[in-house]
Amino acid sequence: MVTAKPEREASDTRPRRLGQLPAVGSDGARRELVRRIVHSPTFARSERLGTFLTYVCDMTFKGREAEINEQKIGREIFGRPQDYDSAVDGIVRSQASRLRQRLELYFQQEGADELVRITIPRGGYVPVFETQNTSVPTPADVEATLPSPYLSPLTPTPSVEVHPKQSVTGRWLPWGLSAVLTLMLMALWFHDRSTLQRPAIADHPLWSHLFTKNQPTMVVAPDSGLVLFHGMSGRDLDLKGYLDAGYRSEPAVLPQIGPAASLKDSVLDLANRRYTSIVDLKTILSLKDRAQTLGSEVSVRYARDLRPNDFKAGDVILLGSSEADPWDELYEHNMNFVFKDDYKGVFSILNRNPQKGEPARWESRRDDPQRTVFGVVAYMPSLAGDGNALLLEGTGMSGTEAGMDFVLDDAQLLPFLNRIRHPDGTLPHFEVLLGTQNMGASATQSHIVAWRTMN
């Protein structure tokens, strides 16, 4: 298994001297390109994706493209066993989709002027290196392509007789001005070209409504200590009980810790600990990256530290079902798909208004040999009506991960958003129920089970 990850030293991000650069299109140039990509800001928080890209590129450089396949990548990069079933465990497919998105983002932003572009065509994992047409225009080319108002300074003027007594400055001043104007026009041409090449990221149909420039979006990290309390005590806890915090202070004396502690002491100890899952941490980092591409940022708050007034303004993203984040209750009265855990091994999704052919509930059972789990993505109006809320819920960590994968993968998300758009192109608020399988606490490839839109 490949365990080495690219080192991110300061020296790696410095541009190489011109004499050190290999010829365009050579293996050296392509290796240099891979190095720049994996050490770029776009890949800074995605070391696994950088390792993925480095691996498939190295195999290509060695002429071993025929050996690049899903099974081998799963073993070498993601630590899957020798006989793992890639048809069930879709980790490579989901990560390849993210890698394609990151590559596209890199070549739209800091890599917009690269001479060579890397793509990984869908349906395979072999990278393709494509040379881009980045020839530098001559001043004449610039003059020919610019609108006429910009050409007037370069229009030939009648010759002027220079008298012998004219100063050197007077003789060279017109030529100097012409050179400056030419350089300015070339800079304008390059700026316009760069602008045309980059898509309007701010126009994303979903994220542009959740991340506003210069305005932080609150991301609520779920309380995994509360999940442990639910599981060990078998007690359901609503938002009011969560805010009262009585479940964390009974009895009045501090609980005992260690082998002599009773079950009740252990439950109280877990309830007072501040935990959140690795899946939620990964989601938060991904959301932070997405916010930065839109000129925004996230403000991460732990569920236990919030109060109702925190939800009265701005955009918010909530992670986890209500058993981990009771603040979901603020939005559930307008939702069709609602979670219900009996704490006896059955986690259900209630279907409040079943459509034709739909069941009244979907169940995720602990004893299910298929390990079926569900996730819900709910895009709702904010409580004050001046923003939006996004809920990513699941019948466990893998269900929440399925929701995260869905909203971060435009290959899945955009076809769905295009399907539910209003005739005028605006996006309605919506809920979508996803089905997937739990494989080692990770979600496999998900599919849409049902969905609803709101007026």
Q: What is the mean pLDDT of residues 191-203?
A: 47
Query: 15 in a domain, yes or no?
Result: yes
Q: Say how many C-beta atoms besides its own lie within 10 A of residue 195's C-beta.
A: 10
Average pLDDT over residues 182-209: 60
**Per-residue buried b or exposed e for 325-337, using 16+ beta carbons within 10 Å of the residue's own CB:** bbbbebbbeebbb
Integer Cα distance of 340 and 362 in angstroms: 10
More confident site: 57 or 192: 57
Q: Report if residue 5 sits inside a domain.
A: no
Please give the structure tokens belonging to residue 180: 């400056």
Whether 338 and 403 map to the same domain: the answer is yes
Q: Distances in Å between the alpha carbon of 195 and those of 112, 131, 190, 199?
A: 10, 20, 9, 8
Tell me, yes or no, whether 95 and 148 share the same domain.
Answer: no
For residue 198, pLDDT beyond 90:
no
Q: Which of 221, 206, 242 is nearest to 390 (CA)?
A: 206
Residues 440 and 370 in one domain: yes
Which of 422, 383, 390, 385 has the alpha carbon at shortest distance from 406? Answer: 390
Q: Within this chain, do residues 83 and 55 fall inside the same structural domain, yes or no?
A: yes
Cβ neighbours for 370, distance < 8 A, ≥ 6 positions apart: 437
| Mean pLDDT along residues 285-312 | 89
Question: Is 261 within the bounds of a domain?
Answer: no
Give me 153's structure tokens.
């300074």
| Residue 321 placed within a domain | yes
Q: Domain check: are 178 and 214 in the same one?
A: no
Nearest CA to 335 out of 346, 325, 350, 323 is that of 350
SS3 for 433?
A: strand
Same domain, 294 and 443: yes
Residue 191 has pLDDT above 50, yes or no: no
Name the token pair of 297.
């940022």
pLDDT at 8 over 90: no
- Residue 204 · residue 377 · CB < 8 Å: no
Strand order in the sheet with 346-351: 337-341, 346-351, 361-365
Contact 416, 448 (CB under 8 A): yes
CA-angle at 195, arms to 193 and 198, nearest 5°: 110
Longest dimension (CA), the chain: 107
- Residues 148 and 122 both lie in one domain: no
What is the DSSP secondary structure assignment for residue 327, as one 8-state letter? Answer: G
Q: How does residue 250 score in pLDDT terms, banded at 50, 70 and 90?
A: low
**What is the Cα–Cα distance from 374 to 398, expressed in whole angstroms?**
8
Distance CA 128, CA 79 (A): 25
Whether residue 149 is contained in a domain is answered as yes
Looking at residue 354, its pLDDT comes to 95
Q: Give the contacts of 78 (CB within 8 A, at least 6 positions apart).
A: 48, 91, 92, 95
Within a domain: 325: yes
Average model confidence (pLDDT) across the chain:
78
The pLDDT of residue 38 is above 60: yes
Residue 202 falls within a domain, yes or no?
A: no
- Enclosing H/E stretch for 82: none
Q: Using alpha carbons, list the distances in angstroms from residue 113 to 18, 107, 117, 197.
A: 16, 8, 10, 10
Using CA atoms, how far apart are residues 315 and 296, in angstroms rounded to an integer?
Answer: 12
**pLDDT one-digit tens code per residue, 106-163:** 999 888 989 999 999 988 899 999 987 655 444 444 444 444 433 334 344 444 444 4
pLDDT at position 177 is 60
Ramachandran class of 11: left when φ > 0, alpha when ψ lies in -120 to 50, beta otherwise: alpha
Is residue 448 helix, strand or coil? Answer: strand
pLDDT bracket for residue 195 (50, 70, 90): very low
Strand pairing class (388-394; 316-319)? parallel
Q: 443 pLDDT band (50/70/90 cuts)?
A: low
Tell me if the pTM is above 0.85. Answer: no
Of 302, 324, 357, the C-alpha closest to 236 is 324
Does residue 305 lie within any of the structural domains? yes
149-153, 317-321, 396-400, 404-408: least confidently modelled range: 149-153
Q: Do 417 and 335 share a domain, yes or no?
A: yes
301 and 440 both lie in a single domain: yes
Same domain for 281 and 179: no
Q: Is the dihedral of CA 249, 253, 256, 261 positive or negative?
A: negative
* Per-residue confidence band for 90, with pLDDT thresholds at 50, 70 and 90: confident
Q: What is the model's pLDDT at position 262?
A: 65
Measured distance CA(335)–CA(379) in Å, rounded: 10
Residue 295 sits in the same domain as residue 444: yes
**Domains: count for the chain:** 3
**Tokens representing residue 112 in the block:** 């917009």
Looking at the structure, tell me whether residues 184 and 213 fall in a common domain: no
Q: Which residues span the domain enclosing 121?
A: 10-131
Q: How confident is the model at residue 226 (pLDDT cuts 50, 70, 90)?
A: confident
